[in-house]
Amino acid sequence: MVTVKYKNVCDLCGQSVAIKGLTLTTEHNIYNFCCAGCQSIYKLIYINNREQAPDQANGNSKTNNKSKEDN
């Protein structure tokens, strides 16, 4: 029986990372993933939400507030 020790765990689900190359590099960190599915879900949940301005993520953009005030 062979024992394999993994250095990295998936930054989404926590499983062992056995495939090299499933990473995502941001300006602050390098994230590792066990599969393309975890990598895609991480991008959808975390990266896309960070790209929005904080007031846009809440639906309170300045243009929306102006139109409400004008009414």
The tokens 């390098």 sit on which residue? 30
pLDDT digits (tens, 9 = 90+) for 24-45: 988 889 999 999 999 999 999 8
Average pLDDT of the chain, as a whole number: 76
> What is d(CA 25, CA 33) in angstroms, rounded to the nearest whole number?
11
Residue ranges per structural domain of the chain:
1-54
CB of 17 within 8 A of CB of 34?
yes
Residue 4: phi, psi to the nearest 5? -110, 130
CB of 32 within 8 A of CB of 23?
yes
Two tokens, residue 13: 């689900």
